Amino acid sequence: MILFFRRVFPAFIGALLLALCFSPAPAEARAEKPFRQSGIASWYGSWHHGKVTANGEAYDMFAMTAAHKTIPLGTLVKVTRKDIGKSLVVRINDRGPYKRRRIIDLSYAAADSLGMKRKGVTRVAIEVVGDKTGRLLSDKHEFFVRLKDEEPSGKAIQRQIARLTRLGMSDAASLLHVRKGVMALGPFRTFDAAQSALIRVATTHPGANIMLAEKGSMKPAVNAVASK
């Protein structure tokens, strides 16, 4: 028995040490994957406008915000409508929805931008893209304010720049971008800066929203104008 113990015990210890060396790291030590979820999105509008949200600020139906049951308040979330692939970015500032199978409650502006205002609900995929301080998780992205899904002629771009200038955007020529059928303003370093720009153009550009793009992927429209 003693001889057997002397032979087996060292081998057992060696195997144990090997397992410890190559075992997966504890869950808290591994990098967390971005939160993703799919389900039904709904929206809430004028009947809540001005009321206090879960984070203490007044609900603004014209801002890009949303309610979620568990995502930390202040977090930035990309919402993609599954049937058409259109996406936008919202900031979580409230709690809800509490109806079965609904995963997110969008502001009026966000719902309007996704074309779901009349229907009321639609299937979406959501993904966390920024932490609760509003900082993007990836340094490869930047914010834009999406104005239209079209790639207009040089004259149309010039008219758009004049229109934005009348709204007080003296830097419209450098902010306006046209790329792959999308007209947008940017880039903006923070969500709040993009939100401020969105509010300035909301009255003349219904359906405008906040989008993410790869850095350097949006070409300045002013170059297109200059080449005409």
Give residue limits of the domains in the chain: 36-130, 141-226
3-state secondary structure 12-26: HHHHHHHHHHHCCCC
* Cβ proximity of 95 and 44 under 8 Å: no
Please tell me the distance from the alpha carbon of residue 100 to that of residue 142, in angstroms, as a whole number. 34
Predicted local distance difference test score (pLDDT) of residue 34? 81
Task: Check whether 3 has a pLDDT greater than 90.
Answer: no
Task: Check whether 220 has a pLDDT greater than 90.
Answer: no
Please tell me the distance from the alpha carbon of residue 32 to that of residue 70, in angstroms, as a whole number. 16
pLDDT-wise least confident of 49-58, 76-85, 96-105, 214-223: 214-223
Q: The tokens 């070409």 sit on which residue?
A: 219
Who has greater pLDDT, 36 or 24? Answer: 36
The continuous run of DSSP H or E covering 175 comes out as helix 172-175
- The helix/strand/coil state of 112 is helix
* Centroid of chain to Cα 212: 7
Cβ-based neighbours of 64, under 8 Å, separated by 6 or more: 88, 89, 90, 91, 107, 109, 110, 195, 198, 209, 210
Residue 65: Cβ within 10 Å count: 24
Task: Check whether 226 has a pLDDT greater than 50.
Answer: no
* Cβ proximity of 40 and 121 under 8 Å: yes
Task: Check whether 16 has a pLDDT greater than 60.
Answer: no
DSSP 136: B
Task: Check whether 152 has a pLDDT greater than 80.
Answer: no
Range 121-146 average pLDDT: 95
End-to-end CA distance of the chain: 94
Average pLDDT, rounded, for the chain: 83
Predicted local distance difference test score (pLDDT) of residue 32? 55
Cβ-based neighbours of 67, under 8 Å, separated by 6 or more: 44, 53, 54, 92, 93, 94, 95, 96, 97, 104, 105
Indicate the CATH number of 36-130 among 2.60.260.20, 2.40.170.20, 3.30.930.10, 2.40.40.10: 2.40.40.10
Range 78-87 average pLDDT: 95
Predicted local distance difference test score (pLDDT) of residue 212? 93
**Residue 204: which pLDDT band, with cuts at 50, 70 and 90?**
confident
**Residue 11: which pLDDT band, with cuts at 50, 70 and 90?**
low
The continuous run of DSSP H or E covering 164 comes out as helix 154-166
Highest mean pLDDT among 85-89, 115-119, 222-226: 85-89
pLDDT-wise least confident of 41-55, 142-156, 162-176, 188-202: 142-156
Range 128-146 average pLDDT: 94
Range 85-110 average pLDDT: 95
**Residue 194: which pLDDT band, with cuts at 50, 70 and 90?**
very high
